[in-house]
Structure 1
Amino acid sequence: MATYTITELAREFDITARAIRFYEDQGLISPTRDGPGGRSRVYTARERTRLKLTLRGKRLGLTLSEIKSLVDMYESPKDTSAQIERFLLVLAEHREKLEQQREDIEMALTEISAHEETCRRTLGEHSKAAQEMPAADVLRRAS
């Protein structure tokens, strides 16, 4: 049976060993312990797969609790339909959140554009007024 060290998994998935230990603390993966005093972590193919699924869930923007519930479902292949339906539900909820965020971002960008235009107009008016002002008045206002 293939086993992996924390360093090997960190290198393979381009993450830190600290991140892997964090996922372990969250219960997403659970390596066995080996060596004197159980200091060395040993990851099986199962743990590697769980880590891979965890990272995929993170890329999708899922929370760790959502990822954990989905990854835990793959431990019991008894009812694949229920697993797929649960995954679809999580994805739909996540899509809804992202759509709302996109809408909020679009509104914020529209407001920013309006403020930028107002600022440019104001700068243009000040610039024009300064050009029309006699040089002595410009110097007097600057001091």
Structure 2
Amino acid sequence: MGDERTWTITQLADEYGITLRTIRFYEEQGLLTPARNGAHRVFHEGDRVRLALVLRGKRLGFGLDEIKKIIGMYDAEPGEAGQLRYLLDQIAVRRAELEQRRRDIDATLAELDEVERRCRTDLDALRTDMSDPA
């Protein structure tokens, strides 16, 4: 075990392109549990993997509570199979939310297109009226 690779907080922050404050926040939330060497944090492979999972979860739009639950399920009952089933359920929920958001965006864009078309038509009519000496 003495040969196990470790990382400093700065190395992890640099590797993942995040701030030291972000890593400390995830530690405060119980998502990371680095060892201590005096005042210095020592991160092991498990912390590095958990950090990658947290960041991936955030990119996918999961909240920290959901991420914490998913990560915590790996080591507790129902174990990895339960973790994977829960994650699949959460993916389905997230996908449905994003698909609804996409439909909402498409509807908004269509409405903007219609308003823009009407504005251009009205503007053209005003120009025609202004140039007509009648």
Q: Same fold (TM over 0.5)?
A: yes
Unaligned runs of 5+ in 1: 135-143
2:115 aligned residue: 115
Aligned-CA RMSD value = 1.8
Cα displacement (A) at 1:123: 1.1
1:104 aligned residue: 104
Q: Over alpha carbons, which structure has the higher Rg?
A: 1
Counting matched residue pairs gives 131
Q: How big is each residue's C-alpha offset from its partner over 1:35-77, in whole Å with a ceiling of 9 and x where there is no partner?
A: 2xxx322111111110011111112111111111111122348
TM-score (norm 1): 0.83
The SS at the match of 2:43 is strand
Q: Find runs of 4+ consecutive structure 1 residues off by over 4 angstroms.
A: none
TM-score (norm 2): 0.88
Task: Choose from 15, 18, 32 the match for 2:21.
Answer: 18
2:129 aligned residue: 129
Residues 73 and 79 of structure 2 are in contact (CA less than 8 Å); yes or no, is this contact kept in structure 1?
no
Cα displacement (A) at 1:93: 1.0
User: Are 2:30 and 1:27 aligned?
Assistant: yes
Unaligned runs of 5+ in 2: none
Cα displacement (A) at 1:78: 6.4
Letter in 2 for 1:21: R
Cα displacement (A) at 1:131: 1.9
